[in-house]
Amino acid sequence: MSPGLLIYCRPGFEKEAAVEIGAACYREGYAKAKPDSGLVFYVPHDPAVARAPSRHWNELVFARQLIRDARRVDELPTTDRATPLAEAAAALGLRFSDVWLETADTNEAKEMSSFCRKFERPLRDALLRRGLLVNDLRKPRLHVAFLSSATAYVGFADPCDSAPWPMGIPRLRMPRGAASRSTLKLAEALLLFLDERERSEWLRPGLTAVDLGAAPGGWTWQLVRHGLHVTAVDNGELDPRLLADDRVEHIRADGLAFKPKRPVDWLVCDMVEQPARVAACVAGWLAEGRCARAICNLKLPMKKRSEELERCRDIIDDALGGRSYRLAMKQLYHDREEVTVFLQSRR
């Protein structure tokens, strides 16, 4: 099989991921994607694109991971799987900083996780014998994605243009005392969209935030954890532990209609609302100078997800009216039928 681009995505979103990578390759190729498999394999007509795609990983909304120059290896012998996989790695013509053994994020595929743990040492040893693993973090990372114990994709990822976590999944633990599991969505977003300097500068005591649709308070809790003062806007009940914190003010109001008395550093929003209305609301806050930056979730419909997302992009662009802004979108691991958006005004 010709080399291609291998993408990990949320199971059920293979179509959207395939359309997206196809557009990035100017539709000069074809995609192979089994429904609910959590994987998309795109074969461009030009093999060079498989090594250097035109779009970066962080520009792809539905891709958890982007693996380049991936080749499928079939019929791995039970007596020696390491040798043909090491040979496939050598055929890439590179040396690697590390090797990750992975599966798709499905219940069936994750049954392979025990196999991957046991097989990592033999494969690593085979790669070391060939001089393919080196102590240089600037080198690409080798990925071996197992479909079964007899079939795997072998490819590489640029450490500066890929998810820094195996399977593209950050391993976040549910914090003790958090108001709801939704706090993990904001924790992942802050980890993904902001670099270390930005987290230090923009998430510190004394800064202010508004959380629209806050109840029961998972996102408010995450911001307070960083020392921010938060106005939690929701007609529903907030977790009593948050109400006892003097950094939290609960205002009972409609989140889409609320306006702060003075500008804030952050706006966050995880409301169950039409994505177009949320996009218009958040973009309006930035356009009118009510906040410096924002993170929100867009709850996508079951059908025409890509079209709805493009509609929201257009709404944001129209609302900001030619202003300079930074926009990033990603379907996070902790998201479900939604996409998380980061928006920042560039003054």
Q: In whole angstroms, give the CA distance from residue 256 to residue 283.
A: 12
304 part of the active site: no
Q: Is 233 buried (19+), middle (13-18) or exposed (0-12) by CB count in 10 A?
A: buried
Beta-sheet strands, E only, within the chain: 4-8, 29-32, 39-44, 65-73, 98-102, 141-148, 151-157, 208-212, 229-233, 248-251, 264-269, 291-299, 325-330, 338-345
194-196-197 Cα angle (round to 5):
95
Contacts of 15 (CB under 8 A, 6+ apart): 33, 35
Q: What is the DSSP letter of 228?
A: -
Distances (CA, A) of 50 to 25, 46, 141, 145: 9, 8, 15, 16
Beta sheet of 98-102, edge-to-edge order:
29-32, 39-44, 4-8, 65-73, 151-157, 141-148, 98-102
Q: Is 121 helix (H, G, I), strand (E, B) or coil?
A: helix
Q: Active site residue: 185, 299, 303, 330, which one?
A: 299
User: Which residues have C-beta within 8 Å of that of residue 186, sequence separation ≥ 6?
Assistant: 218, 219, 222, 223, 268, 270, 295
- Residue 207's H or E segment, with its range, is none
Give the C-alpha separation, 108 to 147, whole Å. Answer: 10
Give the C-alpha separation, 101 to 41, whole Å: 17
Of 73, 16, 71, nearest to 40 by C-alpha is 16
Just list the catalytic residues: 299
